[in-house]
Structures are given as structure tokens and as C-alpha cells.
Amino acid sequence: MNRRRSAYVFLLSSVAALGGLLFGYDTAVISGAIGFLRSHFSLDAAETGWAAASLLIGCMIGAGVAGVVSDAFGRKRALMASAVLFAGSALWSALPRGLTEFVIARVLGGVGVGMASLLSPLYIAEIAPARSRGRLVSLNQLAIVLGILLVYFVNYWIAGLGTEAWNVDVGWRWMVGSEGFPAIVFFFLLLLVPESPRWLVKQGRTDRALAVLSRLSESGQPAKELAEIQNAVSREGSSLRQLFRPGMRKALVIGIVLAVLQQVTGINVFMYYAPEIFKQVGSGTNAALFQTVIIGLFNVSFTLVAMRTVDRVGRKKLMMIGIAGMGVSLSAISLAALWNKTELWLLVFILGYIASFAMSIGPIVWVVISEIFPTRIRGRAMAISTVALWAADYLVSLTFPIINENTWLVEHFNHAFPFWIYASLCVVMFVFVWRSVPETKGKTLEEIEKLWMAG
């Protein structure tokens, strides 16, 4: 019986995690399409940047509204809305009549990404039993990195179907449009999942919540779990001021700071610009793309390591080990850049960085921000943290080329400078996790809530 219940929870989590797959797919699809798109619409550098980064603006909006929408209409319906946005944006961005329409379509898709980035881990955290919650929420991160890897292959495959002229005219449309297929599958699978019991309790739909809990509960005591949730919900006020009460404020600061630090320690510089970095040290285009695939594979493999260890070793320890590895790797990357070392060394150090990120703060930051907030405010508090995450992503993606190509900095430090910034922020993150983040491994969401009340 228990086995069947675990399998059921796993299945529901996998469906929700498809939101993560679309998140990874949609953020990374642009890397393959942007060159052809640029020729097609004859874009200058600034327009190209705008076409590429517009998605992230949508992500901020999506993460901003997802909390309110999901608190009002439920986690399930809000996830379905994100699926509709993904599918609509895929179609429209494949058939735009100009750059402006393309950008609007991408912003809409970004709203879908932003919503899913919040709702998938939120939904999973709310249905998962405490002992496997970390692993199940990390499933979402696995889906993100699989989405990134998948779209890389899809782009590569589509580009190979025709000539350069065909790609400039048609190929890029298939790349951005291909996302419509997983989006539609996601929509229909969502029809089969139940609403989150915690949200149902909040709405006063206790019978329905109990029915869902009886199918999920591993303890075999759904009534007891229901009472715990009811108790937790009844102790919370619903006003926004609630967010800034002393106990909650601490949770909120932890959520925001972790989200921002996950980004400003540099991950998406590698996710979005890896081929360019390799070309800088002399790789040809093909080699650069091949090295990028290896990065994608490492990202997936070490996410699996995190999933196996997060509920055993704990969030805090794993994060500290990973951040230390990231800091050391970034320092090595900067020295390799400073001393003009060969691409092989650079690849080795970058892989060290990716492995350290993927086994720690890649998944765990999402785990922590989905579990540290009490139910009543979880939607909104996660929204604030997730908006902060996307804003930090936008900032890093926008500033990297500027810092990296600054003539004075290149003359004096040879492309090493940006990596020093990210490495020093690893030191900040290490100290922050060590001093301020409580261990939440194995605790139920209700026990975590009590932790803040006590504090």
C-alpha cells in the first residue's frame, strides 16, 4: 500500500516537474535560434540582446503574479494557465510579423516560465511527505536541466535539416515553436492531478482535502495530517503584514538572499554564454558546441547526485560543500583566463563548477524556498523570492558581456575579472548559509513553521 502511495506521489511530482522541463527548454531555446533570428530580422547588437533577454522580463512578471493567482484559484489551475502561455507563446514566436511581435510572444512565454518556476516546486512541496520532499522537489531541477539538454539536441537536429538560408528563413521558427508539443502534453496531464490538500484546507474544502490526503498519506493517518494542516493554517493571519512579522521576516530574508545568491554566483553565464567563452580561448564553433553539450550532461548527472543525498546529508551541509567547490573552481577558471591556459583546462574547471552547482544550490535553493514559508503566505513569499531570482538572472545576463568585453579590464586581467566577482560572491553565500540557514531536512512543513514561530 505504502509503495503504491509513494509511486502515486512520485507520478504527481513528475507531472508537476514538466513545468520545470518547459522552464529549462524555454530559457535555453534562444541560444540556438538567436543567430538565425538576427539575420532574418537584420538585428543590431542591442536588438539581438533585447530579443534574447525579453523572456526574463516575462519571468519576473510570471513569478510575481503566480503567488496571488495560485492562492486565489489553486495550484493546479495556475499551472494549467502556465501551460496555455507556453503553448501560445511557442506558436506566436514561431510566426511573428516582426521583432516587436517576437518580443511580445517571448515575454508571454516568460510569464509561463516565471509561473511554472514557482508553482511546480510549490505544488510538489505541498503534496510530498517530509522524508522525501527534498528529493521530490529536486525532481523539478532535474526536469529543468533535462529541458536545457533536450532543447540543445533539438536545436542541433533542426539546424542540420537544411541549409543556412533555410535556417534563417524557417529553422529558427521550428526551434521556438517545438516547445508547443511538450506544453500541450503538460496541459492534458495536469487535468489528471488533484489540487494541493494544503490549498484546499485554506479554502475550507476539508472533505476534498481529506480525500486527497487519503490517497497521498504514507503514514496511513490522513485525518491526523489533516488536523496538523488545519492547525497550521488557523494560526496564520492572511494579511500582507504577516509577511513582515519578525519570525516570517527572517524566513523571507533567507528566501530572497538565497535566490539572489544562486544567480549572482554566475551559473547562467555558463548556461547562456558557454560557447562564446570557449571561443574566446580559441575553440572552433563545433568544438564549442560539443563542450557545451558536455556541460549539459554534467549538469544532469550531478543533479542526480543531489537528489540521492539531499534528504540524507541535509540541505545545509550539501550547500556548503557545493558552494566551496564553486568558489575554488571559479578561482581556477579566472586564473586559466588570466594566464591564457588552454581550452582543456578551462573545460575541466568549468565542469568542476557545474558539478558543484548541480549537486548543491541548483536544486537546494528551490527546495528551501518551497519549504521554509508557512502555507498561508507560501504563495506570496515564494513569489517575492522567485521574482528576486529572475531579476538577479537578468542583471547577470545583461552585465556579463559588458564586463567581459570592457577594454580596460581585458587589457589588465584578460577576461578573468567577471569570475573574480562570482568567486567572491561564493564566499558571501558560504558564510550566509553557514550562519543563517536552518536545517530543514526531515521536518514536516508544519514543524518548519513552528521553528519560525519559536524564533
- Write the DSSP symbol of residue 239: S
Using CB under 6 A, which residues numbered 299 to 328 contact ligand BGC? 299
Hey, how many other C-beta atoms are within 10 angstroms of the C-beta on 159?
20
- Site for ligand BGC contains 261 (CB under 6 A): no
- Per the listing, cell 495536469 goes with 190
Q: What DSSP element (H or E) covers 218?
A: none
> Minimum distance from CB of 393 to ligand BGC (Å)?
6
Stretch that binds ligand BGC, among 157-165, 225-233, 262-270, 414-422 (CB under 6 A): 262-270
Residue whose beta carbon is closest to ligand BGC: 362
Contact 316, 166 (CB under 8 A): no
> Minimum distance from CB of 266 to ligand BGC (Å)?
11
- Write the DSSP symbol of residue 441: T
> Minimum distance from CB of 149 to ligand BGC (Å)?
10
CB of 196 or CB of 262, closer to ligand BGC: 262
CA distances from 164 to 33, 41, 110, 161, 354 (A): 12, 15, 28, 10, 32
Contact 32, 150 (CB under 8 A): no
**Alpha helix ranges (H) inside 203-339:** 206-216, 222-234, 246-264, 267-280, 285-313, 315-338
Q: What DSSP element (H or E) covers 196?
A: none
Q: How many residues bind ligand BGC (CB under 6 A)?
A: 11
Give, rounded to a whole angstrom, the gap between the first and last alpha carbons of the chain.
38
- Among 352, 362, 374, 379, the residue binding ligand BGC under the rule CB under 6 A is 362
* Residue length of the chain: 455
CB of 57 or CB of 232, closer to ligand BGC: 57
CA distances from 114 to 3, 24, 445 (A): 33, 11, 24
- Site for ligand BGC contains 145 (CB under 6 A): yes
CB of 144 or CB of 233, closer to ligand BGC: 144
Query: Per-residue contact track with ligand BGC, 263 to 302, x per CB under 6 A?
Result: ----xx--x---------------------------x---
- Among 225, 343, 371, 393, the residue binding ligand BGC under the rule CB under 6 A is 393
Residue closest to 443 by CA, chosen among 209, 210, 174, 228: 228
Burial of 3 (0-12, 13-18, 19+ CB in 10 A): exposed
CB of 102 or CB of 366, closer to ligand BGC: 366
- Site for ligand BGC contains 124 (CB under 6 A): no
Stretch that binds ligand BGC, among 29-37, 120-128, 140-148, 371-379 (CB under 6 A): 140-148
Stretch that binds ligand BGC, among 164-172, 179-187, 260-268, 286-294 (CB under 6 A): 260-268
- Site for ligand BGC contains 139 (CB under 6 A): no
- Site for ligand BGC contains 144 (CB under 6 A): yes
Q: Is 437 left (phi over 0), alpha (psi -120 to 50) or beta?
A: beta
Contact residues for ligand BGC (CB under 6 A)? Answer: 141, 144-145, 262, 267-268, 271, 299, 362, 366, 393
